[in-house]
């Protein structure tokens, strides 16, 4: 009764023509009769379709259907055989039977047919395979009466397939998806998977959680995960995801809380600007142009904020009595957007462009550089974005324009700080697809 509602797929070979009953029909009947099936799907070649028909006619009380290979001679073509078996299995899944209610018996048939059924079953996560074992006679066939139906799980191959899928997705930068692909091997699931799958899954999930937090700009969470330590990586194919010394240093800096003194905030802001630039480059890679524009604008703004911190000024808390603030306020035309005012403190706030103009008043050459870059079309494109003030996405035929903007911003960062180059190298290490391209 345990097999009720299941589907059995079974390859049908030639057996020994001189004794078809003992070498083919009896073993297949034993497999079919071991269980109660909603359907038995026989997979013969064109040559063995007649043998499958004999089974069908003999076992009248069992719902047997035949799905023969469509072409003569295909039983020796593993690729075409796989395509047929895969289609047959997919049809049953589409009709409503989940893979966990399926069993694949690959005993009979050519080697190509057996391999094809195992591969097709593996693709669709069919959890159990069957193979008939027993004493073999002089012809190599199992002697009738000694057959033993051996059924075994596919946890090792299934686990490795999940790991391969996760590795591919991880290298493409979709870190959060890895947490959905790889099994959580903690608690009650610990005994389900083989040891090697468990060890690599633990590392893969931990690494994915770290990079996902870093990639979504949750620096506090990334630093926390880093501080807790990642499990040991047991596989060379995954070693590229072990955070190096420079990456650990970079993320720990990002996770630091904001300093109290304005002058100490400059470097704290700079490392964020560098990281956001690299993050935006990954958005360009993934053709998420709206997100890339937003990050570019924020990088431009952060550079100005960092420079103001160098002068002891916070763009979000500007003292009205500061000489440079008063001078800039006097220069503002009546129709120009001026400083914002914080009611609680009476201090001023300065948006991106006004911060750059304030730097000019302070005699900082970076002010003019920021204003020049800000005059470009990318600020207008950002403002027209659906994510800001517009009603549609920015239409782009290629990423060339955005890459030019990011190159300008990179030059500003390198000009602003001697440490930017090394920080940018660490920040860019989260782009594993770029590393693949260099290998």
* Span 41-93, pLDDT tens digits: 999 999 999 988 988 888 988 999 999 999 999 999 999 999 999 999 999 99
For residue 135, the enclosing domain spans 6-153
In this prediction, residue 421 carries a pLDDT of 97
Calpha distance 268→219 (Å, rounded):
13
Q: What is the DSSP letter of 12?
A: E
C-alpha distances (whole Å) from 266 to each of 20, 66, 210, 269, 407 are 84, 74, 26, 5, 22
Calpha distance 176→171 (Å, rounded):
12
Same domain, 382 and 295: yes
Domain boundary among 130, 153, 176: 153
Q: What share of the chain is helix, strand, coil (3-state, %, to 5)?
A: 60, 10, 30
370 assigned to some structural domain: yes
62 assigned to some structural domain: yes
Please give the structure tokens belonging to residue 192. Answer: 């389900």
For the chain, how many structural domains are there in total?
3
175 assigned to some structural domain: yes
Burial class for 14, CB neighbours closer than 10 Å (0-12, 13-18, 19+): middle
Same domain, 262 and 212: no
238 assigned to some structural domain: no
Please say whether the beta carbons of 13 and 109 come within 8 A.
yes
In this prediction, residue 1 carries a pLDDT of 37
Identify which of 85, 83, 40 has the alpha carbon closest to the alpha carbon of residue 59: 40
DSSP H stretches of helix in 133-261? 155-171, 175-181, 195-215, 219-228, 245-255
231 assigned to some structural domain: no
Cβ neighbours of residue 236 closer than 8 Å, sequence gap 6 or more: none
Same domain, 135 and 173: no
Same domain, 31 and 69: yes
CATH number for position 73: 3.40.50.10770
Same domain, 209 and 345: no
Please say whether the beta carbons of 123 and 28 come within 8 A.
no
Q: Which residues pair with 183 in a beta bridge?
A: none
What's the whole-model pTM score?
Answer: 0.83
CA 342 to chain centre: 43
**Angle at CA 289, nearest 5°, toward 226 and 415?**
65
C-alpha distances (whole Å) from 285 to each of 69, 197, 399 are 43, 31, 8
C-alpha distances (whole Å) from 397 to each of 182, 194, 407 are 36, 48, 19
Domain boundary among 108, 125, 153: 153
Same domain, 368 and 318: yes
Calpha distance 50→56 (Å, rounded):
10
Residue appearing with tokens 């299995």: 89
Please give the structure tokens belonging to residue 48. Answer: 């063995």
Helix axes 366-374, 289-310, angle to 10 degrees: 160
Identify which of 376, 374, 397, 395 has the alpha carbon closest to the alpha carbon of residue 385: 395
413 assigned to some structural domain: yes
In this prediction, residue 67 carries a pLDDT of 97
Same domain, 293 and 149: no
Same domain, 27 and 135: yes
Phi, psi of 120 (to 5 degrees): -65, -40
Query: Low-confidence residues of the chain, pLDDT below 50?
Result: 1-2
Same domain, 148 and 296: no
Please say whether the beta carbons of 300 and 370 come within 8 A.
yes
Domain boundary among 202, 217, 232: 217
Please say whether the beta carbons of 359 and 307 come within 8 A.
yes
Same domain, 266 and 177: no
101 assigned to some structural domain: yes
Beta 128-133 vs 340-341: how paired, if at all?
unpaired
88-98: b (≥16 Cβ within 10 Å) or e: bbeebbeeebe
In this prediction, residue 2 carries a pLDDT of 44
Same domain, 213 and 148: no
249 assigned to some structural domain: no
Q: What is the DSSP letter of 210?
A: H
Same domain, 384 and 272: yes
The secondary element (H helix, E strand) that includes residue 150 is: strand 148-153
């Amino acid at each position: 009764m345990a097999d009720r509602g299941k589907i059995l797929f079974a390859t049908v070979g030639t057996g020994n023509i001189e004794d078809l009953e003992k070498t083919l029909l009896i073993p297949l009947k034993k497999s079919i009769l071991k269980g109660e099936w909603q359907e038995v799907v026989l997979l013969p070649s064109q040559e063995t379709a007649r043998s499958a028909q004999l089974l069908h006619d003999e076992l009248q009380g069992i719902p047997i259907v035949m799905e023969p290979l469509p072409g003569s001679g295909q039983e020796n073509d593993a690729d075409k055989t796989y395509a047929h078996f895969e289609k047959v299995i997919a049809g049953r899944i589409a009709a409503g039977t989940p893979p966990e209610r399926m069993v694949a018996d690959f005993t009979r048939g050519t080697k190509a047919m057996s391999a094809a059924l195992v591969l097709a079953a593996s693709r669709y996560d069919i959890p159990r395979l069957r193979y008939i074992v027993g004493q073999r006679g002089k012809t190599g066939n199992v002697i009738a009466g000694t057959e033993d139906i051996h059924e075994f799980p596919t946890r090792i191959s299934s686990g490795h397939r999940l790991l391969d899928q996760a590795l591919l997705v991880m290298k493409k930068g979709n870190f959060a998806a890895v947490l959905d692909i790889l099994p959580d091997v903690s608690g009650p699931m610990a005994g389900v998977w083989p040891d090697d799958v468990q060890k690599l899954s633990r590392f893969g999930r931990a690494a994915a959680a770290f990079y996902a937090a870093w990639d979504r700009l949750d620096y506090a969470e990334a630093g926390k995960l880093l501080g807790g330590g990642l499990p040991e990586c047991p596989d060379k194919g995954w070693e590229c995801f072990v955070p190096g010394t420079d990456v650990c240093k970079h993320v720990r800096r990002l996770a630091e809380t904001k300093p109290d003194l304005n002058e100490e905030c400059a470097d704290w802001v700079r490392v964020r600007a560098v990281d956001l630039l690299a993050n935006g480059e990954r958005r360009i890679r993934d053709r998420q142009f709206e997100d890339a524009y937003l990050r570019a604008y924020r990088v431009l703004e952060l550079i100005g904020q960092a420079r103001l911190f160098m002068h002891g000024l916070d763009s979000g808390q500007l003292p009205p009595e500061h000489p440079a603030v008063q001078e800039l306020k006097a220069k503002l035309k009546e129709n120009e957007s001026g400083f914002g005012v914080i009611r609680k403190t009476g201090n001023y706030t300065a948006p991106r462009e006004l911060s750059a103009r304030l730097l000019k008043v302070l005699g900082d050459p970076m002010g003019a550089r920021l204003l020049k870059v800000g005059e470009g079309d990318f600020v207008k494109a950002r403002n027209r974005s659906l994510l800001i003030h517009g009603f549609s996405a920015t239409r782009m035929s290629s990423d060339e324009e955005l890459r030019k903007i990011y190159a300008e911003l990179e030059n500003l960062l390198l000009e602003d700080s001697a440490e930017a180059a090394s920080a940018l190298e660490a920040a860019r290490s989260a782009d594993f697809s770029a590393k693949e391209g260099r290998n």
